[in-house]
Amino acid sequence: MDIEAIPLERFGWSPVFAERFLPFVAEGLQAGRVARDHQHIYRVYTSRGEVLARVAGRLRHQAAGNAEYPAVGDWVALKPVDRERRAVIQAIVPRTTCVTRKVAGDTTAAQVVAANIDTIFLTQGLDGDYNLRRLERYLMLAHESGASPVVVLNKSDLCDDLAARVIEVQQVAPGVPVHVTSATRQEGFEAIAEYLQPGRTVALLGSSGVGKSTLINRLLGADLLPTREVRAADSRGRHTTTNRELILLPSGALVVDTPGLRELQLWEVAGSIEGAFPEIEALAAGCHFRDCRHDTEPRCAVRTAASDGRLAPGRLENYLKLRRESDYLAERQDQAAQAARKQRWRIIHKAARNFTPRE
């Protein structure tokens, strides 16, 4: 018996993706959206329901790193499913947005956290987790992704001065909406409901213990995701979400639950600094040197503003720190690219030496 087709719009399909999928229609492929990735075995939403999928050998061979494999939120082109409801991913549909960070540790490689996200809820707890410098890094991650950032300050029931905290966040995130919630008291959810429209996709990013899973449970209207208490001594959380997952909400929106990011190393820093520090970029127009880096150059308008109180010194310190990180990362990426090119040429030369022409 045929299964009634589910409109792909339920999973975030739009005319933009329909246009980008046109080349795959001629190949007889079907569209699906990655809901979960477990070591490159994917759970995918399709018009015929959920299927398990693996990556085709050709696509796996072409992928140079994890960033080129499908990620949660990706639309993919699938070979028609077999009777066991398994499919093969032949290609990734070009993404509209992409949340990318550097992989943890010393390896110079990118990791896609989620793809095709409309809004990112940058979530912080109003307890020991509260950290403006960390929030600046999350804002940069959001700006470089192409998605719209929204700051969600959770655990308002644990804060004695909400107004002061909101003002502090607005100062480091000018122009970014800031909302206050309490998942335990189920307060503040009316304000964030406007972002959860049918077909829209929201990702929750934050460190462990900020209450992301609890927030999603409140949006689901049921305790479907596991939660754990944070340590009382330092408000540090323990991972309850271990895999990224695209979840369908009763409102018709979709939300990506992500594991807490204990280490947030940015991947493309330079292009997102301007978006995260707009007041510094505005002040820079008054610097004597056009290429002023606001570090040691004379007649720097930015440092002058920091010294006379018009710019918070902490903002400038973090800006300079991220600039240095950007320079270091760019150097590492260039070295990694050179090493990859040399390795490719070694393979080509070895193949050429071993080639025996046919008689």
In the block, tokens 């959860």 appear at 196
Least confident interval from 90-104, 145-159, 222-236, 340-354: 222-236
Return the sign of the alpha-carbon dihedral for residues 86, 259, 194, 157.
positive
Q: Which long-range contacts (CB under 8 A, 24 or more apart) does 334-343 make?
A: 335/108, 336/108, 336/109, 340/64
Burial of 95 (0-12, 13-18, 19+ CB in 10 A): buried
Neighbours of 79 (CB within 10 A): 16
CA distances from 300 to 204, 304, 316, 323 (A): 38, 6, 12, 16
What confidence score (pLDDT) does residue 231 get?
43
Sheet holding 98-102, edge to edge: 110-115, 98-102, 265-266
pLDDT (tens digit per residue) in 261-294? 555 556 565 556 766 788 888 899 999 998 898 9
Share above pLDDT 70 across residues of the chain, in percent, rounded to a whole number: 75
**Whole-prediction pTM value?**
0.76
pLDDT tens for each residue of 199-253: 999 999 888 778 788 888 888 876 665 554 544 444 444 444 457 899 999 999 9
- Paired tokens of 101: 């960070």
pLDDT at 335 over 60: no
Contacts (Cβ under 8 Å, ≥6 apart) of 44: 32, 33, 34, 35, 50, 51, 52, 53, 76, 78, 87, 89
Please, what are the domains in the chain?
A: 8-92 (2.40.50.140), 98-265 (3.40.50.300), 277-341 (1.10.40.50)
DSSP 295-357: SS-SS-HHHHHHHTTSS-HHHHHHHHHHHHHHHHHHHHHHHHHHHHHHHHHHHHHHHHHH---
Looking at the predicted structure, is the pLDDT value of residue 313 above 70? yes
What pLDDT, in 10s, does the model give residues 111-138? 888 999 999 999 999 988 888 888 888 8
The C-alpha atoms of residue 90 and residue 75 are separated, in whole angstroms, by 11
Residues comprising the chain, all counted: 359
